[in-house]
Chains A and B, each alone.
Chain A
């Protein structure tokens, strides 16, 4: 069992839909991350939150909108996605942004855009 919980596990949506991915951790970590992973590729960093503030946006298109309501929760709001956005979306957390503590990942959400 992972200590980072992601919901839903699978999501199929049309290009005009609005949906949200959710991530929750109760390890007291102050850094949270969103990654996108295409098949047979390594994860690509999308966003980093540190102490509930956005610290890194890797030039992600605005159709992806992150939100960190509190230190335990991280959301990714999706709107007007494209077929190429179909991927595995991974959430991760770590104790701090700086340093060498490992990032702990959730199981991911498999997203398919029709």
Chain B
């Protein structure tokens, strides 16, 4: 069963606009962590933001925020004021705490920011 689902293979957004990248997950564990990574064409995986299953507040890091809806099992990434440099592949990932140490990735969303 797919544990992390990213339904948007590609997204376009105009510079300075906000964009939401969708992520839903499936787990029966109570303790887990959700992560978003950015991968430019150069290949590096850049950690963006983290949300713990027990965190009541949505995580924020600069222009990135995570819209965490636990009951819906969704962890959408919101990028505000998009920049051309935001063009990249974005991966949502989950780690189930106490389980084997595996970071489970979604299939990714390619974001393209246009002027």
Contacts and interface: CB of A to CB of B under 8 A. Distances in A.
A41 B77 CA distance: 19
A99 B102 CA distance: 11
Contacts of A48: 101
Nearest to A106: B44
Give the most central of B44, B52, B108: most A CB within 10 Å: B44
A43 B45 contact: yes
Interface residues of B, number: 24
Contacts, number: 55
Interface residues of A, number: 26
A2 interface: yes
Given A42-B108, A99-B97, A100-B50, A108 B43 contact: yes
Interface of A: 2, 31, 40-43, 45, 48, 50, 55-56, 88, 90, 92, 97-100, 102-108, 110
Q: Which 7 A-B pairs have the closest CB atoms?
A: A100-B33, A42-B105, A105-B45, A108-B43, A97-B101, A107-B44, A102-B47
